Structure 1
Amino acid sequence: MFVTAILGKKWAKEDPIAYTRKWGNGAIVATMVGLAGHLAFFFTRWAEAGHIPTSNMYEFMTFLGMMIIFAFIIVYYIYRATVLGIFALPIGIIIIGYASVFPKDIQPLIPALQSYWLKIHVTTAATGEAFFAVGFAAGLMYLLRSVNFSGQTPGDRKEQRGVELTLFSLVMIVAFVVSIFGFNAAGYHAKYTNDVLYTSKDGIEQTVKQTVDYVLPPIFKPFESEQVEMQPFLGMTEAPFEAPSWMHGSNAGRKLNTVVWSIFGGIILYGLLRLIARKPLGAAISPLLKGIDLEDIDEISYRAIAIGYPIFTLGALVFAMIWAAEAWGRFWGWDPKEVWALITFLYYAAYLHLRFSKGWQGKRSAWLAVIGFMVVMFTLIGVNLVIAGLHSYSGT
């Protein structure tokens, strides 16, 4: 409906402003109804689980998607920017779609998560990241509107490649979700066993044989593993490669396999979209945004990040450190997730500093907003899929 509100006014017989307002009002009402439905799901699952449903990747990412929709609604009512819905809502939908590929079973809380800080830390961190997502959507809109996609200068080409890389990242997530659903629907599965060394708090080492289930065809199998079962795929009856030994963690091989499949799927889907558009995606989308006011979009991007930053700081750093002291006996331990949360905090601090002190507005501010959310997504997805740490339980 947001697309209709913006693009349909070209062919509307009535006044374009009245047309946009009418469809925009309908779109925001539909969005709020959808948010109400998601809230009902959230509290129903909370009652069923007996704890707030933010303890694993499925629960956290669905909550993040819900908060992105919430953050969009807040920003919408501040600025009445109907066009923002064309980009902000798909971001939330992609996040929810990504969440749906993870196991949906209600899992009991591990001891480290059995704390009231789970409600405080996770919800505030996700809310801050949700406003960053809205700032990203507005920043991307600014770039799609302002970058000269027909330019041939080195600066123009650099900006064109940057926008295409950003769009490819979004396409890659979509391709990953489609791949998971496709192979799930086809009933594909493969299974491996390998030995994993665990070290207890007392320093006692124990080797445990674990089973690793694959939903995507294994290009990389776990290091030093035995194949138990594998359905043939394109004539492939065994994994051609083995995960490198330096990749630690119980599911390192499967995580690497997921990353590789995401990249391959993204390349294929991006290539198909390029064939359909017959031009780079940024150049195809740019003409659709000719009517937007760049100053308004720049202000929306900044304001969303300014709202999200203190919320994120409280949730991802202050509350997180207090909880870490209770759960692990220290405020800071250089765990990968902690490090990337700090990087995110420092990055957006630099964004606000450059905006206030150096006058970085417009295109430079938009680039910072886009890159910043890429850092957030790596913290949420890349760290869980690639890097093992104390927060790896959230990547199951």
Structure 2
Amino acid sequence: MNIAAAANEDMASISNVLIYSAMAVYTLAFLAHITEWVFGSRSKVGRTAAALTQHAVTAPPAAVTVTATRKAGGTTVMERAEVTTRSATGSRDVPDGPGAAAGDEKGELYGRIAISLTVVAFLVHLGGVVARTLSVQRAPWGNMYEFSTTFSLVAVGGYLLFFVLGKNIRWIGLPLVTSVLLDLGLAVTVLFTDSDQLVPALHSYWLWIHVSCAIISGAMFYLGALATVLYLFRDRYETKLASPQGKQPGPAASSILGRLPAAASLDKFAYRINAVIFPLWTFTIIAGAIWAEAAWGRYWGWDPKETWSFITWVAYACYLHARATAGWKGRKAAYLVLIAFACFIFNYYGVNMFITGLHSYAGV
């Protein structure tokens, strides 16, 4: 065994340890997020608000303010909570974060701890991807294991970037961290591949350009899909609140869904992400075609990966076109964008695992 090979194996081992360590810290962040929601739901104001808004909200106002009292050292203290239903027409986005509508100080503390742990996990995760890069001396996304670990890294990085830009989207933290744990768990078990070099056709600078753009696009589409799923739950909750008759949401639904941003804000958030990232996905397909001409002598050959990339592009184009021209908003647009993201997921998992094509280089 030569020195270079030993160094490669050492860096690969460090990468594996760092990925497992990141999973451990993500688990702590997951528990902190759970604790945040539990403490928030125990807030006296939160319980009062959830109970009263089931009966008080019969029209679509921007918000309902609820007041409750508690005893503190023999003194009566007034607590106020604003329970947002739908954002007013033409208004700015409603406050984000679980504490925006009936959290408490302890719940807010655990929320900040969850974000801090997510930052630590992201840095450890980044170290694992960089170590994998050093072990193979190439772009760290030559197979499904490497793509998965980098994909989840970029998704978390995009999530944290919103905080840097002053956007508090902590409400997406729990489903994001949960799915990242699932993604990494699948990567280190089913998809794991030892560090190795790639076939000659993949030794190109286009590997850095084309695949990195695909990862960034997919990660941001994923954040948009998470926001869309939350929108569907929140919209149904608001519809029940606004209905004077019929079934009202239960206490559990009010405790959780009542502390999300308004459905209109979730819908707008998802649309903005998809609209901003769509041009990058377009460039991803164009870059892939250019690379295909250099590697295989043709720009487009309807390879399964090419075909499903194009289907994904068409699906997102239909969604954006419907929003811009037909005025599609709300649930119809949400279903369409989830179909588009499902096409992206199938293009990654389904095509790679079950369909053989020119992109089938490294198995998983």
Rate the CA distance shift 1:351–1:74 in 2: closer, same or farther, 3 A. Answer: farther
Partner Cα separation in structure 2 for residue 108 and residue 13 of structure 1: 59
Q: Given residue 362 of structure 1, which amino acid in structure 2 is its aligned partner?
A: G
Within-5 A mapping of 1:310-389 = 310-315=279-284, 317-389=285-357
Identity of aligned residues (%): 34
Deviations 1:349-373 (A, max 9, x none): 1111111222212222222232222
Within-5 A mapping of 1:35-184 = 35-76=122-163, 77=165, 79-100=167-188, 101-147=190-236
Within-5 A mapping of 1:296-315 = 296-315=265-284
Tell me if structure 2 keeps the 8 A contact 1:2–1:82. no
Rate the CA distance shift 1:103–1:82 in 2: closer, same or farther, 3 A. Answer: closer
Rate the CA distance shift 1:295–1:4 in 2: closer, same or farther, 3 A. Answer: farther
Q: Give structure 1 regions of 4+ aligned residues with deviation exceeding 6 angstroms.
A: none
Give the TM-score of the pair, scaled to structure 2.
Answer: 0.67
- Give how far 1:7 is off: 3.8
Rate the CA distance shift 1:78–1:375 in 2: closer, same or farther, 3 A. Answer: farther
Q: Given residue 313 of structure 1, which amino acid in structure 2 is its aligned partner?
A: T
Partner Cα separation in structure 2 for residue 20 and residue 323 of structure 1: 50
Partner Cα separation in structure 2 for residue 6 and residue 386 of structure 1: 40
Rate the CA distance shift 1:284–1:312 in 2: closer, same or farther, 3 A. Answer: farther
- Give how far 1:333 is off: 0.8
Partner Cα separation in structure 1 for residue 281 and residue 140 of structure 2: 19
- Equivalent pairs counted in the alignment come to 264
Deviations 1:319-357 (A, max 9, x none): 111111111111111000000001111111111111122
- Give how far 1:32 is off: 1.5
Stretch deviating more after TM superposition (355-364 or 110-119): 355-364
1:295 corresponds to? 264
Deviations 1:292-345 (A, max 9, x none): 221221122112212321222222x12111111111111111000000001111
Structure 2, unmatched stretches of 5+, are 1-31, 46-78, 80-102, 241-249
Structure 1, unmatched stretches of 5+, are 152-282
Partner Cα separation in structure 2 for residue 75 and residue 342 of structure 1: 29
1:211 corresponds to? none
Partner Cα separation in structure 2 for residue 44 and residue 284 of structure 1: 47
Deviations 1:195-234 (A, max 9, x none): xxxxxxxxxxxxxxxxxxxxxxxxxxxxxxxxxxxxxxxx
Instruction: Give the superposed CA RMSD.
Output: 2.6
- Give how far 1:121 is off: 0.7
Partner Cα separation in structure 2 for residue 284 and residue 309 of structure 1: 39
Q: Given residue 395 of structure 1, which amino acid in structure 2 is its aligned partner?
A: G
- Give how far 1:97 is off: 2.0
Give the TM-score of the pair, scaled to structure 1.
Answer: 0.62
1:395 aligns with 2:363: yes
Rate the CA distance shift 1:78–1:377 in 2: closer, same or farther, 3 A. Answer: farther
Stretch deviating more after TM superposition (12-21 or 304-313): 12-21
Q: Given residue 73 of structure 1, which amino acid in structure 2 is its aligned partner?
A: L
Partner Cα separation in structure 2 for residue 31 and residue 344 of structure 1: 30
Tell me if structure 2 keeps the 8 A contact 1:324–1:330. yes
- Give how far 1:20 is off: 4.9
Rate the CA distance shift 1:75–1:49 in 2: closer, same or farther, 3 A. Answer: same
Partner Cα separation in structure 2 for residue 286 and residue 395 of structure 1: 43
Q: Given residue 296 of structure 2, which amino acid in structure 1 is its aligned partner?
A: W
Partner Cα separation in structure 2 for residue 132 and residue 35 of structure 1: 19
Rate the CA distance shift 1:145–1:7 in 2: closer, same or farther, 3 A. Answer: farther
1:3 corresponds to? 34
Rate the CA distance shift 1:3–1:305 in 2: closer, same or farther, 3 A. Answer: farther
Partner Cα separation in structure 2 for residue 126 and residue 78 of structure 1: 24
Partner Cα separation in structure 2 for residue 21 and residue 372 of structure 1: 35
1:28 corresponds to? 115
Rate the CA distance shift 1:131–1:285 in 2: closer, same or farther, 3 A. Answer: farther
Tell me if structure 2 keeps the 8 A contact 1:144–1:286. no
- Give how far 1:41 is off: 0.8
Partner Cα separation in structure 2 for residue 122 and residue 296 of structure 1: 31
2:68 corresponds to? none
